[in-house]
């Protein structure tokens, strides 16, 4: 297939682009490089552009006969979405709708969308299945849910097919050490723990030790970036016009913040300096996915289901690229 990948130079996009190419698909990456890294994708496949720029976007999408789009081009920090909601509504909703407009103009009938566990809000049942109520508790989750709803309406009215993939906690790096996580600022737990192991940060803070969990710290479901990327390929290849699919993506196992720190200490053979800090606003105590649906319907089979192997690949990336992509 010929695939138009918006935001393909970011962390999840770049890993997916690599797997798309390995699976024999044609790829064009459309990215404004505000958070992505040019060197994370093949240079000949990169078109620099913004979703806000509808003319450039539509021209790029009309340049080739695309079979499908993938949409990774969003802002994704929960905390920032609370203090700067406008950025999230403009980019994750308004600019994202331009992608749907361009798809209609260019007659592209399928899309795989990066959604999130944050659309569920505070869980009322665990593990979370796709039919769990969606009551997001922050602007990030609300903007992602709005786009899911737009997809459903576009599908009913115009017949587009879509798969909304609701990610839990993406982590890890390409097993060969050539692609990895490089956010600025970095807010995610696993890279921050590894920065503390490397001495790039003095220590990592544990946000909250009084949650109703076995050791008092938050529990999350970490999914390897390779397995997450693979799910996009499966969703793309299975999709038919008019499909409305949603899939959770996690491993179904929860690890606490303390367990992440202990596992990282084991993997790196280093001490992880840490301190205890107050809760971070907006963090649910436990988020664990049921990914049974994608296993059953698409045959998804994670290659790195264990936290240790997720951290091992991340550790290789950070050790070999202490300054990330260096841009």
Nearest CB to ligand UFG, comparing residues 110 and 142: 142
β-strands 161-167, 274-277 pairing: unpaired
Closer residue to ligand UFG, CB minimum distance, 117 or 228: 117
| Cβ–Cβ under 8 Å, residues 257 and 193 | no
Q: Which of 142, 220, 316, 318 binds ligand UFG (CB under 6 A)?
A: 220
- In the bound state with ligand UFG, the residue whose beta carbon lies nearer, of 67 and 84, is 84
CA distances (Å), origin 211, targets 219, 232, 284, 285 = 9, 33, 9, 6
116 binds ligand UFG (CB under 6 A): yes
CA pseudo-torsion sign 180, 186, 190, 195: positive
Burial class (CB in 10 A: 0-12, 13-18, 19+), 320: exposed
Evaluate whether 64 touches 25 at the Cβ level (below 8 Å): no
DSSP state of 307: H
**Options 104-112, 115-123, 302-310, 316-324: segment touching ligand UFG (CB under 6 A):** 115-123
Interface residue with ligand UFG, options 70, 73, 118, 160 (CB under 6 A)? 118
**Of 90 and 238, CB closest to ligand UFG:** 90
Annotated active-site residue in 140, 167, 222, 247: 140
Binds ligand UFG by CB under 6 A, chosen from 117, 163, 223, 314: 117
Q: Does 207 bind ligand UFG (CB under 6 A)?
A: yes
- Residues in 74-103 at the binding interface with ligand UFG, rule: CB under 6 A: 76, 78
User: What single DSSP character describes residue 295?
Assistant: H
Given 126, 205, 209, 309, the residue binding ligand UFG (CB under 6 A) = 205
For strands 219-220 and 255-256, give the pairing.
antiparallel
CB 102 → ligand UFG: shortest distance, Å?
A: 25
140 catalytically annotated: yes
> Which residue is it, tokens 């008092």?
216
Q: How far is the CB of 132 from ligand UFG (least distance, A)?
A: 13
Smallest distance from the beta carbon of 260 to ligand UFG, in angstroms?
7
If DSSP codes are grouped into helix, strand and coil, which group holds residue 57?
helix
Whole-angstrom CA distances from 178 to 14, 47, 314 are 11, 21, 11
Residue 187 binds ligand UFG, judged by CB under 6 A: yes
Binding residue for ligand UFG, selected from 169, 248, 263, 268, defined by CB under 6 A: 169
Q: Are 27 and 229 in contact (CB under 8 A)?
A: no
Q: Nearest residue to ligand UFG, using CB?
A: 218
Are the C-beta atoms of 137 and 121 separated by less than 8 Å?
A: yes
- On whether the CB atoms of residues 92 and 75 are closer than 8 A, the answer is yes
By CB under 6 A, the count of residues binding ligand UFG is 21
Query: Is the Cβ of residue 27 or residue 286 nearer to ligand UFG in the bound state?
Result: 286
- State the binding string over 261-300 for ligand UFG (x if CB under 6 A, else -): -------------------x--x---x-------------
Among 101, 188, 201, 293, binds ligand UFG (CB under 6 A): 188
Mark residues 129-158: x for contact with ligand UFG by CB under 6 A, - for none: -----------x------------------
Euclidean distance between CA atoms 314 and 179, whole angstroms = 10
Scored b (16 or more CB within 10 A) or e, 170-197 reads bbbbbbeeebbbbeeebebbbbbbbbbb
* Beta-carbon count within 10 A of 123 CB: 17
Q: Which residues are catalytic?
A: 140
Interface residues toward ligand UFG, by CB under 6 A: 76, 78, 116-118, 140, 169, 187-189, 192, 204-207, 218, 220, 257, 280, 283, 287
């Amino acid at each position: 297939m010929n695939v138009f990948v918006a935001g393909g130079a970011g962390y999840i996009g770049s890993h997916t682009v690599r797997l798309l190419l390995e699976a024999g698909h044609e790829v064009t990456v459309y990215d404004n490089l505000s958070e992505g890294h040019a060197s994370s994708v093949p240079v000949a496949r990169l078109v620099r552009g913004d979703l806000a720029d509808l003319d450039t976007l539509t021209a790029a999408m009309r340049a080739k006969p695309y079979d499908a789009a993938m949409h990774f081009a969003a802002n994704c920090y929960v905390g920032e979405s609370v203090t700067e909601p406008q950025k999230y509504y403009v980019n994750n909703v308004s600019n994202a709708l331009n992608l749907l407009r361009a798809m209609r103009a260019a007659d592209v009938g399928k899309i795989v969308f990066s959604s999130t566990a944050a659309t569920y809000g505070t869980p009322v049942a665990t593990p979370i299945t796709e039919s769990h109520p969606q009551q997001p508790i922050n602007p990030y989750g609300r903007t992602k849910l709005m786009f899911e709803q737009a997809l459903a309406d576009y599908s009913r009215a115009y017949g587009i097919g879509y798969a909304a993939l609701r990610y839990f906690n993406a982590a890890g790096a390409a097993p060969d050490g050539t692609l990895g996580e490089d956010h600025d600022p970095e807010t995610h737990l696993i890279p921050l723990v590894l920065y503390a192991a490397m001495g790039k940060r003095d220590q990592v803070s544990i946000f909250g030790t009084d949650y109703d969990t076995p050791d008092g710290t938050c529990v999350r479901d970490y999914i390897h970036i390779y397995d997450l990327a693979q799910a996009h390929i499966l969703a793309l290849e299975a999709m038919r016009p008019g499909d409305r699919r949603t899939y959770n993506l996690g491993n179904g196992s929860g690890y606490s913040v303390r367990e992440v720190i202990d596992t990282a200490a084991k993997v790196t053979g280093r001490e992880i300096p840490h301190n205890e800090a107050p809760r971070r606003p907006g963090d649910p105590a436990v988020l664990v996915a049921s990914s049974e649906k994608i296993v059953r319907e698409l045959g998804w089979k994670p290659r790195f289901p264990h936290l240790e192997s997720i951290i091992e690949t991340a550790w290789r990336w950070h050790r070999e690229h202490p300054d990330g992509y260096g841009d």
